[in-house]
Amino acid sequence: MPVLEIGKRDECIGVKLTKDLVIVEAGEEMLDRKKSNSDEMMEALWKSDMDSSNIRNRFKPFSSDVKMACKNFLSRRDIFHEMKSRNFDVAILEPMFVSGLGFAKALGIEKIILASSCTFFDSVLNYIGEPLDFSYVPSLYSVTGEVMSMAERYENWMVTKEANLAFEEFYDGEMECYREFLGEDVPDWRDLLSTASIFFVNSNPFLDFPRQVIQKTVPIGGISVNFDWIREQKLSSDWVEILEKREKNVLISFGSIVKSIQMPKIWRNGLLEAIQSMPNVTFIWKYESDDTSFASHLQNLHFSKWVPQTALLNDARLDAFLSHGGLGSTMELAYSGKPAVMIPVFGDQTRNARMLERHGGIIYMHKSSIIPI
């Protein structure tokens, strides 16, 4: 089956098994904008919390980026005609954005599968007939578990309301784009969402907060965690040497979107202080820079720009994981059974941490608590 990918080619990311691949490269304007805005936006996420009072403004900077990406993709008429000639039967789309729905409709594809990288997207639930019960189901941006006070229930509803208003603005902008390039007769995104036959969500019902769903919603959380493959992975001699240095080992990773190098220095110093207090433990920190002179006094800290995370989590010599709570890492952690400390930074990460906290497998900490004593 041919696969369409949108974005910049990266040797480390992409589909490896599918050979029939069509890449739509990011435009120069998009790449320039990413370079100029990325660090500033990511640092802001480290330093602030999202709640109902600010979440709409937090998302606003992405609005023009979404339109730019949409125009970059849909203006490629050669790609459209090539895809049209394939006569696809099914389209699989992530509903974080909706331009793909218009694109698939213009291609004449009637069978649509929505697939979410998150446990769900609040912004599309009403349009597929599956609203949340905010009294006991944490929304995507909730900071609590399922046990909430009256004020927390109100905030759970308000943060979703404000986030949905931001996303609906994105979607309306995308609709303008796909109608500009594909025709004014392409239906409204609200109508297109409701026609999807299946909604795959990155949720494991044995881990996630219980909620009511309709039959078209299919939880597939953990489908990417292939333990037969993970167990076959062998750590290199360099990694084995690191793990053998001390009796205990801890992995630290804050993911690939918000980077460790953007962590406020006062919090970084607090983490270094904790590491220094445990000289009998080796800490492996996924860190995106070679400039690590700030930690030259620590003999038990190993920096690496890349770590074999799944293989390390499956290794008996790794004792714990300090994670940001991204859903990919959350699923890998849950399936590996390692104890962890989760320090969410933004988005759905707090909900993911609370999800594992309710099972007793992790300790949740607010990011501002990483300060020197």
Rounded distance between C-alpha atoms, residue 40 and residue 259, angstroms: 12
Rounded distance between C-alpha atoms, residue 332 and residue 326, angstroms: 10
* Identity at 297, one-letter amino acid code: H
CB count within 10 Å of CB 246 equals 16
| Calculated CA dihedral for residues 82, 83, 85, 89, nearest 10 degrees | 170
- pLDDT given for residue 370 in this prediction: 86
Contacting residues for 25 by C-beta, under 8 A, at least 6 apart: 7, 8, 9
- pLDDT given for residue 12 in this prediction: 47
Please give the helix or strand (H or E) that residue 283 lies within, else none. Answer: strand 281-286
Rounded distance between C-alpha atoms, residue 38 and residue 35, angstroms: 6
Q: Is 42 left (phi over 0), alpha (psi -120 to 50) or beta?
A: alpha
DSSP 3-state of 281: strand
* DSSP string covering 21-39: EEEEPPPHHHHHHHHHHHH
DSSP 3-state of 185: coil
- pLDDT given for residue 373 in this prediction: 66
Rounded distance between C-alpha atoms, residue 328 and residue 347, angstroms: 14
Please name which of 263, 316, 324 lies closest in space to residue 288, comparing C-alpha atoms. Answer: 263
The tokens for 274 are 């904790």
Phi, psi of 90 (to 5 degrees): -140, 145
> pTM here?
0.88
Q: What is the CA radius of gyration of the chain?
A: 22
Rounded distance between C-alpha atoms, residue 10 and residue 8, angstroms: 6
CB 281 within 8 A of CB 249: yes
- pLDDT given for residue 35 in this prediction: 57
Strand partners for 362: 340
Q: Where do the domains of the chain lie, and which CATH numbers do they carry?
A: 3-219 (no CATH), 227-369 (3.40.50.2000)
Q: What percentage of the chain's residues is helix, strand, coil (to nearest 5)?
A: 45, 15, 40
CA distances from 90 to 49, 248, 264 (A): 39, 49, 45
How do the pLDDT tens digits run along the chain, 373 residues long?
444 544 444 444 556 777 788 888 877 777 766 655 566 677 778 888 889 999 998 888 777 888 888 999 999 999 999 999 999 999 999 999 899 999 999 999 999 999 999 999 999 999 999 989 999 999 999 999 999 999 999 999 999 999 999 999 999 999 999 999 999 999 999 999 999 999 999 999 999 999 999 999 999 998 878 878 777 888 999 999 999 999 999 999 998 888 899 899 999 999 999 999 999 999 999 999 999 999 999 999 999 999 999 899 999 999 999 999 999 899 999 988 899 999 999 889 999 999 999 999 899 999 988 887 6
DSSP 3-state of 2: coil
- pLDDT given for residue 87 in this prediction: 92
* Identity at 55, one-letter amino acid code: I
* Identity at 279, one-letter amino acid code: P
- pLDDT given for residue 36 in this prediction: 55
- pLDDT given for residue 20 in this prediction: 82
Rounded distance between C-alpha atoms, residue 105 and residue 194, angstroms: 13
- pLDDT given for residue 330 in this prediction: 93
Total residue length of the chain: 373
